[in-house]
């Protein structure tokens, strides 16, 4: 028909952008339709409800993130330690963008809806955990080489890294500046260097 996939993608992108700037609850269906340049009738033809769009936007965001981080230069490093530190540096480099562009759709959403929209909450949880799982693989490999006997688990570091990032985003929003977030990522990097000593 006309172009189903394209309009759906436009709605998904618009949802991502509007939710990241206004939050999930304040992002109205009309807002998102206007941003996407699509009529409301078309919206409800493609999505059964606002919540379903949210779930779709989260899935699309996960996919986008997966390709961005798997194709970034750091991901090609041979040493898993370099990949871990490269991840942090890469995320720091993203902070040069506008706040709604480097901010995490899932982290923003889950804060608001964790008691009111169970399906959305699960989608956020699974998406964030999948991202952590990717980090955990590199952390596990790096630990085997650089800190085989250390008493920390790679997975807990993966979550720790994400916590620092999510918290840094909150301060970036509060301060309308990514400067604090940059400093926090520097501390995160220093900690990882300490946990994975080079020699």
> Binding residues for DNA, per CB under 7 A?
1-4, 6-8, 27-30, 38-42, 44-46, 49-51
| Nearer CB in complex with a second copy: 76/183 | 183
Residue 41, classed as helix, strand or coil, is: helix
- By the 8 A CB rule, do 154 and 129 touch? no
Q: Does 199 bind a second copy (CB under 8 A)?
A: no
Enter the tokens of residue 13. Answer: 């992108």
Among 80, 86, 107, 154, binds a second copy (CB under 8 A): 107
Q: Does 186 bind a second copy (CB under 8 A)?
A: yes
CA distance 73 to 76: 6
Per residue, the 3-state secondary structure of 3-25, as one string, reads CHHHHHHHHHHHHHHHHHHHCCC
Residues binding a second copy (CB under 8 A): 21-26, 99-100, 106-108, 110-116, 121, 124-125, 128, 152-153, 156-157, 159-160, 162-168, 170-171, 173-176, 180-181, 183-184, 186-188, 190-191, 194
């Amino acid at each position: 028909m006309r172009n189903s996939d394209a309009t759906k993608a436009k709605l998904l992108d618009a949802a991502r952008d509007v939710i990241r700037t206004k939050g999930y609850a304040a992002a109205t269906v009309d807002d998102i339709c206007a941003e996407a340049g699509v009529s409301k009738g078309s919206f409800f033809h493609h999505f059964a409800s606002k919540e379903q769009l949210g779930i779709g936007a989260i899935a699309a965001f996960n996919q986008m993130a997966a390709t961005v981080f798997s194709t970034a230069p750091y991901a090609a490093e041979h040493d898993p330690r370099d990949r871990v530190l490269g991840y942090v540096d890469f995320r720091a480099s993203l902070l040069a963008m506008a706040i709604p562009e480097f901010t995490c759709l899932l982290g923003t959403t889950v804060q608001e809806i964790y008691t009111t929209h169970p399906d959305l909450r699960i989608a956020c949880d699974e998406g964030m955990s999948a991202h952590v799982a990717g980090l955990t693989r590199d952390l596990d490999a790096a630990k085997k080489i650089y800190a085989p006997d250390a008493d920390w688990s790679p997975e807990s570091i993966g979550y720790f890294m994400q916590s620092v990032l999510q918290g840094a985003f909150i301060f970036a929003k509060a301060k309308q500046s990514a400067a604090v977030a940059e400093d926090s990522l520097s501390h995160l990097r220093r900690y990882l260097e300490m946990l994975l000593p080079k020699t």
